[in-house]
A and B are shown apart, each in its own frame.
Chain A
Amino acid sequence: MFNKFGVLGSVMALALTTTAPAFAGTAEVIHWWTSGGEATALKVLVDAYQKTGNTWKDNPVAGGEAARMVARTRILGGDPPTSMQWQLGAPLVALAEEGQLNDIDAVAKDWDKVLPKVIADNAKFEGKYVSAPIDIHGHTWLWGNQAVLDDAGVAMPKSWAELIASADKLRAKGYIPLALGGQSWQEIFVFETVLLEVGGRDFLTKVTYDLDDTALRSPEMLEAFKLFAKVRDLVDPGSPGRDWNITGGMLISGKAAYMIMGDWLKGEFVAAGKVPGKDIACEVFPAGKGTLVFGTDSFAMTAVKDEGQREAQLALASTIMDPVVQREFSLRKGSIPPRLDIDRTGFDDCAQKAMAEADAGHLFLVPDNVTDATGIGALVDQMTTFLHSSQTPEEGVTAMADAIAATR
């Protein structure tokens, strides 16, 4: 009797103090957005979510790997968070196959119409949405310090051929042609642009998605390694092991002319008072190949049973996909929104270019989210080994193809 009154009392108290919808719940969210710019962007999402009457229980874990490890442990322990940041594609499917995800189709009726097909396809399991995407980050961008280019009398290159042709002019003026942080995750962006230059989107697909043995031993691959070998001469001796943001500083300060890096680099430009698209030129690289390799931050929805949590989860999914939230979030994070139908005023020139690529269907999901991790890992290992050694292109091709073959 007492219990009944207790419940009744609290329900009444709730009804009196809030005007929230019937199922106000709490969503616990694990994410890895802990740095300044990321936290500002996240606040947009959190504020919008709180306005729906639900409560956001923040659970930030620094570092993507660590955050995913925490989420995985919680899931294995039978106490999943309501939602967590998780990659699209293969990693998401792996989780769904274990029966660890809820579908959110109840709130995702029109998502197919507004999302790029590649994102829609990779956010689903067995035809149903299990994850809500909040941003798109392009990886294969070429950035150029405009003042340096002007000083050396060089136009922003649209291909590797043009970039390499401009290197001597830049060196003559004392500039480092290419700022490169010599860690494999940064170098792979460069390698991807090289593959695109040589064989276009089809070749990139065959090599990084299919790990196709014929493509890996083809004449195009040899050509790609010959081009990639030239990168060794474009960088400075301090490159190996250097962090991406320090490397970005070389571009911003005008020590180096170019850098190939994802568009999160824009945050560094803005912090240094430089305008992307003006002070720092940008190009989806190589131009005209119809391909922008990208990654997406998205929130996977776990298999929570509780009715309140379920409602909180659905509310979270629709908040993430809300046009205003998507717009405001990306403006702060330096990304572009996955929704193609939002108001695009206020985005910088580089973001406009990225959105045009997305409209044209040029997005290419990062191979990490598609290909077997051991196979693509072997490719990355051989790519970085080649760049830091004196292997000939012929040796590089064989070593890479053999290493990938051994993972099968």
Chain B
Amino acid sequence: MRRFFQRHVSQIALSPSLALIAIFLYGFIGYTVAVSTTTSKAFPRFDNFVGLEQYWRLFHTPRWHVAFTNMFLFGGLFLLVTISLGLIIAILIDQRIRAESFFRSIVMYPMAMSFVVTGIIWQWLLNPTLGIEVMVHQLGFESFRLDWLTNPNTVIWALVIAAFWQGCGLVMALFLAGLRGIDEDIWKAAAVDGIPAWRVYVFIVIPMLAPVFLTVVVLLSLSIVRAFDLVVALTNGGPGVSSDLPSVFMFDMAFRRTNLGLSAASAVVMLGTVLAILIPYLYAETRERA
């Protein structure tokens, strides 16, 4: 008996959390899939199976197309901007500059803010009748325009800027930690060979940071999919529905429009999208290391 416990102690310790995950994660994923095959309105009901009809309806809803496209647009731009600028800032701070902790704090501070606060700050700054635009007008540049927030074609950039401002600190910190972990000897060897610093970064250091990239991409991808509060605080989906994201669409359908069936279908599509992107990536990464 005692040997049994000794041999299986890890399984026993893990089993409660595994059970919880099985119920509250996979159980409810299954439940959501089941709801998405019904015409449930305000309350979930399972006596009205309609197959994939809600999915057909979903992809004939213009607002869903906007939201779905926006997720890729916002996600792509946010990843690109945050990773590239976060890396550059980390490299600059890594140059053994003076007052390093001061600059590090400046970049890190926005991370302490919630997305709601971030959204409201940027809503004020980018508002064309009381924000930066008015300030520049008062300085005398009357023709200056900054209408990103109120123009449906550019509003996604307003989201990207606010999200970048909030997320940059974390990315910078991760890259900085990665850079500090790189062996000094590599730099010395490169210096002996007379290789310029930018080439060392591009061909040696950055490839060595691959695991950090994986962490950053996973963390940022998660914040893209759950970017709900930022949109609600910054634009509330507007102007019109031009800055809608799938999460906002899903919430609206479930609680304002009382259409649980359609809402569940959109949730399942969101989950499918995330898995389609992350699984091959994680698979490749874990195989390489194994």
Residues of chain A having any CB pair with chain B under 8 Å: 65, 69, 72, 76, 94, 98, 182-184, 236-241, 373-374, 377-378, 381-382, 384-389, 399, 402-403, 406-407
In the assembled complex, B128 has its CB within 8 A of some CB on chain A = yes
A76 and B257 CA atoms in complex are apart in Å by 19
Given known A374-B262, A385-B241, A388-B238, contact A241–B62 (CB-CB < 8 A): no
Q: Are B241 and A238 in contact (CB under 8 A)?
A: no
Q: Are A387 and B240 in contact (CB under 8 A)?
A: yes
Contact of B129 among A94, A183, A237, A384 (CB under 8 A): A237
A66 to B, closest residue via Cβ: B255
A-B contact pairs, 18 of them (CB 8 A): A98-B43, A236-B129, A241-B235, A373-B259, A374-B259, A377-B259, A381-B63, A382-B62, A384-B241, A385-B63, A385-B66, A385-B240, A388-B152, A388-B238, A403-B63, A406-B57, A407-B57, A407-B61
Output the least CB separation between B30 and chain A (Å).
21
- For A184, the chain B residues whose CB sits under 8 A away are 238, 240-241
Q: Count A/B pairs, Cβ under 8 Å.
A: 90
Output the least CB separation between A94 and chain B (Å).
6
A94 and B259 CA atoms in complex are apart in Å by 13
In the assembled complex, B130 has its CB within 8 A of some CB on chain A = yes
In the assembled complex, B168 has its CB within 8 A of some CB on chain A = no
- For A406, the chain B residues whose CB sits under 8 A away are 57, 60-61
Contact of A238 among B43, B128, B235, B262 (CB under 8 A): B128
In the assembled complex, B80 has its CB within 8 A of some CB on chain A = no
What are the 9 tightest A-B residue pairs by CB atom distance, in nearest-first order?
A238-B129, A388-B240, A406-B60, A388-B239, A240-B239, A240-B150, A385-B240, A384-B240, A377-B257
Q: Are B149 and A240 in contact (CB under 8 A)?
A: yes
**Residue of A241, A386, A389 most packed against chain B (CB within 10 A):** A241
- Contacts A240-B239, A378-B61, A386-B240 given; 17 further ones with Cβ under 8 A? A76-B43, A94-B41, A184-B240, A184-B241, A236-B129, A237-B147, A237-B150, A238-B127, A238-B128, A374-B253, A374-B259, A374-B262, A381-B62, A384-B241, A385-B241, A403-B60, A403-B63
Task: Give per-residue flags for B40-71: 1 if the beta carbon is below 8 A from chain A beta carbons, else 0.
Answer: 01110000000000000100111100100000
Output the least CB separation between B79 and chain A (Å).
26
- For A387, the chain B residues whose CB sits under 8 A away are 240
Q: Are A94 and B42 in contact (CB under 8 A)?
A: yes
B contacts with A, residue count (CB < 8 A): 33
B145 to A, closest residue via Cβ: A237
Contact of B255 among A69, A374, A385, A399 (CB under 8 A): A69
A241 and B256 CA atoms in complex are apart in Å by 18
A350 and B231 CA atoms in complex are apart in Å by 38
Q: Are A377 and B236 in contact (CB under 8 A)?
A: no
A184 and B258 CA atoms in complex are apart in Å by 17
- For A183, the chain B residues whose CB sits under 8 A away are 236, 238
A375 to B, closest residue via Cβ: B257
In the assembled complex, B242 has its CB within 8 A of some CB on chain A = yes
- For A389, the chain B residues whose CB sits under 8 A away are 152, 240, 242
A-facing residues in B212-267 (Cβ within 8 Å)? 235-236, 238-242, 252-253, 255-259, 262
A407 and B257 CA atoms in complex are apart in Å by 12
Q: Are A241 and B239 in contact (CB under 8 A)?
A: yes
Q: Are A381 and B239 in contact (CB under 8 A)?
A: no
Contact of B61 among A237, A241, A384, A403 (CB under 8 A): A403
- For B152, the chain A residues whose CB sits under 8 A away are 388-389
Q: Are B238 and A238 in contact (CB under 8 A)?
A: no
Output the least CB separation between B256 and chain A (Å).
7
- For B147, the chain A residues whose CB sits under 8 A away are 237
A236 to B, closest residue via Cβ: B129
A-facing residues in B148-195 (Cβ within 8 Å)? 149-150, 152
- For A407, the chain B residues whose CB sits under 8 A away are 57, 61
B42 to A, closest residue via Cβ: A94
A184 and B63 CA atoms in complex are apart in Å by 13
A387 and B235 CA atoms in complex are apart in Å by 16
A237 and B60 CA atoms in complex are apart in Å by 31
- For B235, the chain A residues whose CB sits under 8 A away are 241
B256 to A, closest residue via Cβ: A65
- For A382, the chain B residues whose CB sits under 8 A away are 62
A387 and B128 CA atoms in complex are apart in Å by 18
- For B66, the chain A residues whose CB sits under 8 A away are 385
A374 and B64 CA atoms in complex are apart in Å by 13
